[in-house]
Copies of this chain bind each other. A is one copy, B any other.
């Protein structure tokens, strides 16, 4: 294991792990008290934990701490798994130790000698505890009375890389892949390790390292041609407590095997996958499992053989089961060759219609991975009604950190509030108290597996995420997956302090920018939940009719009278009927449907009056004018920080915000003009529309 690469701070490479040196003063003195680390374990993840702790402290205090097996009588930080370090055992009573799960940890300051103990049942718990303590140091928090027990709320906290082996990243906006180039796995392993550090420090414990769209060369990742290199990546992630998964091609038995079918009920196919699993686990004993996009957007799947998703997933699950591996089966299944003239087919219905009837049919090591909304990561969608609807089926939620539809890291859009809104959504699947977060943390249905997945936003740009402030989304995702009760503001503040330091004004300004950003972006893009008013293919920029006559099932049906999709049971596609309890009635009725989802559920006239008191058309105009003003305010806010931030970092963000402000104007004008021309209704305030 090489030392983590230490790039210079100015390019954003170190992200929230920059551990800037603390200036002399009260805060410095508090931390400088600790000159020693005591630890009795050094293997594997424990080695990582010690290295991270020592290095973090060295950076912040400007000198290396001693590392020893026993306390030398000086104030120390002692770390260890229970039963292996007497100081740790002494610090935590049995009741506390019992409360600490496999990935949990305790942090405790000894009130007599001031020593801090980090205890856990496993090395990975220690690593998380170390990152916790470093976070306290780097955010200037007190450590003199620590008495913390932390367990992750969610079991799987996963990242999906949509990286292709040719080096491209599907929906990537931060350069090329750090994993691949020219159809080979990278040899730049230090960068992979640095990514593992970032992920582990935010709480991530699983990663699928290739795109769910598995093309020709990626299909071979599970063959001897690539597997030795995959092993190297697995080794790196393992040292940070992160399990490695691979996206697989459902048609592998045909494409890389010698079989003439991929029928999941064919014994030869089943045997082929069993053999393949054995081969993979021989190389990577703790391999996580397979991520599968099947029968979706032209990818192969069990439908080819008149089998269903349960047949397909169970075949793979059977092969992985002996090794403790799991199958993560994506539910992003819909008709992507729809006729735009057909108003009865509703893409929003598709995932539920496909999967809900299969409840109970999936093996217990299959997890369904369900996008947060029923369409596709729009800035505003209702929560997918499939999440929680299958009581006997493992489920996890899928978010998109990469900003495909939310500004592509050219616009600022802090997504944690969006994710929290989904997590807090009440599904009524088991009556009141059935929020999404209780489904994905496993507590509602009590199934063996559950958790979070999200599509990464990183690439080989020096600052990882293109837009420096988009690092907050990567960090925030991990933190939220660890504990969905954290507030968006608190996560933002942690990230800002770790990234930029302690300046109170700076923290306040950036936190305000992050918190406002989602609403701003939403306001100058698609209004009232209508979604998908984007340019085809690349999905950047407004194009109101961009998908209106396409095969993708994403229509808004705007005409000269009104706009929106009637998804009611009464008169529309019946999608509202997929919601339980009060949700159905709330969405079904025009009176109770929330404004921000109105056009998702109802087709209304432009003169329909919203709960806000505005008409639909006036809301469109107002929100687009306001969004542009607010985008300009983001620029102004950032400008106020010039001088408080390293100039390279300052310029990076200033340039993006300038582009955002310019593009917001263009988007405002295009959207407003489209609706003005279509409706013929003038802006009440007489502002310029073309």
Interface residues of A (CB under 8 A from B): 340-341, 543-545, 549, 557-561, 669-670, 673-674, 676-680, 690
A341–B549 CB distance below 8 A: no
Bound CA–CA A678/B558 (angstroms): 8
Contact partner of A670 (CB less than 8 A), chosen from B549, B561, B690, is: B549
Bound CA–CA A677/B556 (angstroms): 12
Which B residues are in CB contact (< 8 Å) with A545? 543-545, 674
**Additional A-B contact list (8), CB under 8 Å, known A340-B690, A559-B678, A677-B678:** A341-B669, A543-B545, A545-B674, A549-B674, A557-B677, A559-B680, A560-B678, A560-B679
Which B residues are in CB contact (< 8 Å) with A669? 341
Bound CA–CA A549/B534 (angstroms): 13
Q: How many copies does the complex hold?
A: 2
Q: List 26 A-B contacts (CB under 8 A).
A: A340-B690, A341-B669, A341-B673, A341-B690, A543-B545, A543-B549, A544-B545, A545-B545, A545-B674, A549-B670, A549-B673, A549-B674, A557-B677, A558-B677, A559-B676, A559-B677, A559-B678, A559-B680, A560-B560, A560-B677, A560-B678, A560-B679, A560-B680, A561-B680, A677-B678, A678-B678
Give the interface SS of chain A, mostly helix, strand, loop or mixed. Answer: loop
Bound CA–CA A40/B543 (angstroms): 70
Bound CA–CA A427/B180 (angstroms): 62
Bound CA–CA A690/B524 (angstroms): 29
Bound CA–CA A680/B560 (angstroms): 6
Which B residues are in CB contact (< 8 Å) with A560? 560, 677-680
Which B residues are in CB contact (< 8 Å) with A543? 545, 549
Which B residues are in CB contact (< 8 Å) with A678? 559-560, 677-678
Bound CA–CA A670/B545 (angstroms): 11
Bound CA–CA A342/B384 (angstroms): 43
Q: Least Cβ distance of A673 to chain B in Å?
A: 7
Q: Least Cβ distance of A599 to chain B in Å?
A: 15
Q: Least Cβ distance of A562 to chain B in Å?
A: 10
Bound CA–CA A200/B244 (angstroms): 66
Q: Least Cβ distance of A557 to chain B in Å?
A: 8
Q: Least Cβ distance of A649 to chain B in Å?
A: 32
Bound CA–CA A680/B543 (angstroms): 21
Bound CA–CA A549/B680 (angstroms): 18
Which B residues are in CB contact (< 8 Å) with A549? 543, 670, 673-674
Which B residues are in CB contact (< 8 Å) with A673? 341, 549
Nearest to A679 among chain B residues (CB) is B560
Bound CA–CA A680/B674 (angstroms): 15
Which B residues are in CB contact (< 8 Å) with A559? 676-678, 680
Q: Which 4 A-B pairs have the closest CB atoms?
A: A559-B677, A560-B680, A560-B560, A341-B690
Q: Least Cβ distance of A138 to chain B in Å?
A: 46
Which B residues are in CB contact (< 8 Å) with A340? 690
Which B residues are in CB contact (< 8 Å) with A676? 559
Which B residues are in CB contact (< 8 Å) with A670? 549
Bound CA–CA A545/B678 (angstroms): 12
Q: Least Cβ distance of A610 to chain B in Å?
A: 22
Q: Least Cβ distance of A672 to chain B in Å?
A: 11
Bound CA–CA A561/B678 (angstroms): 9
Bound CA–CA A236/B217 (angstroms): 44
Which B residues are in CB contact (< 8 Å) with A341? 669, 673, 690
Which B residues are in CB contact (< 8 Å) with A674? 545, 549
Q: Least Cβ distance of A671 to chain B in Å?
A: 10
Q: Least Cβ distance of A75 to chain B in Å?
A: 65
Q: Least Cβ distance of A343 to chain B in Å?
A: 8
- Which one of A543, A557, A677, A680 has the highest number of Cβ atoms from chain B below 10 Å of its Cβ? A677
Bound CA–CA A690/B561 (angstroms): 14
Q: Least Cβ distance of A555 to chain B in Å?
A: 10
Bound CA–CA A678/B680 (angstroms): 10
Nearest to A557 among chain B residues (CB) is B677
Q: Least Cβ distance of A607 to chain B in Å?
A: 14
Bound CA–CA A438/B170 (angstroms): 56
Bound CA–CA A340/B557 (angstroms): 24
Nearest to A690 among chain B residues (CB) is B341
Nearest to A558 among chain B residues (CB) is B677
Bound CA–CA A560/B676 (angstroms): 9
Bound CA–CA A674/B189 (angstroms): 53
Which B residues are in CB contact (< 8 Å) with A557? 677
Bound CA–CA A510/B553 (angstroms): 40
Bound CA–CA A673/B557 (angstroms): 10
Bound CA–CA A670/B690 (angstroms): 24
Bound CA–CA A103/B262 (angstroms): 67
